Amino acid sequence: MKSILSAFAVVLVLSLSSCGGSSTKGSTNGADSTKGSSTASPAPAAAAPTMTVNEADWQLTDLSTIAPLIHISMKVPKGAKMEKNGNGGVDIRVSDFYMITVSALAVSSIKEAMDGDKSMTIGSKSYMNGKALTEEANGMVYTEQMNTEANGTTYQPEVHFAYYIGKPDGAFYSVLDARPMDNFSVAGSAYTADIANKIYAIVKGSAIENK
C-alpha cells in the first residue's frame, strides 16, 4: 500500500511539473508574439536646409582672378570657395546647397539674355506656376515649380534670381543662383524668397565691370 501511494505521488508531481512547463512556455510565446506585432514609427522627413545672408559678411572680389573671361567684380561671401567652371565662368559656393554662377554671354543685349533664361525657367514646359516676383531692366527674382511626375511624385515651389550686367559695345554677363551638382536633390523649399531677394540685392548693388 505504501509503495502504491509513493508511486501515485511521483506521477502527480510529474504531471504538475509538466503543466507548469507548458504554461511558462505559452506565456513566453505570447510575449514573443506581442513583441513581433509591434511596428516602428516612420522617421520624420528631414527639414530643408537654410542659411543666413548678411551683406557685412560679403566682400568685393575681382572674378577675373578666378576666370579670365569674367571681367567683373562683385561682392561674394568671405572665404567662399570659388572656381572656374567648364564654360569659362565662375562658380561661387555660398553654402552646401546654394551656388552662384557667373557666366560670359554670347548675346547682343540684356533683354536677349533675360528672355533666354525665362524660356528655360518660368516659360519652360518642365515647370508650372512660374512667374516673375520682381522684374527690372537688369534682372529678376522668380518662382517656379517642377511638374508633377506621372508616378505622382510632387515637387515644392522654389525662388531664384537672375542678374545681368554689360553694354552693347562690350561684353555681357549673367549672375544666376543654382543647385550644386553634388547636392542636387535638395528640397525646393530651401530656396526661399528671402534668400533670393537678399542675394539679388547684394549682387545688384555691387556688380561692376572691371576697367
CA distances from 107 to 53, 111, 157, 177 (A): 31, 9, 29, 20
Q: Residue 188 — φ and ψ, nearest 5°?
A: -60, -30
Residue 40 pLDDT: 54
Alpha-carbon gap, residue 106 to 113, rounded angstroms:
9
Burial class (CB in 10 A: 0-12, 13-18, 19+), 173: buried
Residue 41 pLDDT: 54
Q: Which domains does the chain have, with CATH numbers?
A: 56-209 (3.40.1000.10)
Residue 102 pLDDT: 98
Cell of 67: 576666370
Query: What is the pLDDT tens value at each position of the chain, 211 positions in all?
Result: 444 434 434 433 344 444 444 444 444 444 444 444 455 554 455 688 999 999 999 999 999 999 999 999 999 999 999 999 999 999 999 999 999 999 999 999 999 999 999 999 999 999 999 999 999 999 999 999 999 999 999 999 999 999 999 988 889 999 999 989 888 889 999 999 999 999 999 999 999 999 8
Q: Where are the beta strands (DSSP E) in 113-154?
A: 127-136, 139-146
State whether residue 159 is helix, strand or coil: strand
Q: β-strands 72-77, 208-209: how paired? A: antiparallel
Amino acid at position 188, single letter? G
Q: β-strands 127-136, 139-146: how paired? A: antiparallel
* Cell 545672408, located at residue: 53
Residue 25 pLDDT: 42
What's the chain's Rg over C-alpha atoms? Answer: 33
CA distances from 67 to 35, 63, 77, 85 (A): 63, 6, 17, 8
Q: Is residue 200 within 8 Å of 160, Cβ to Cβ?
A: no
* Cell 561674394, located at residue: 76
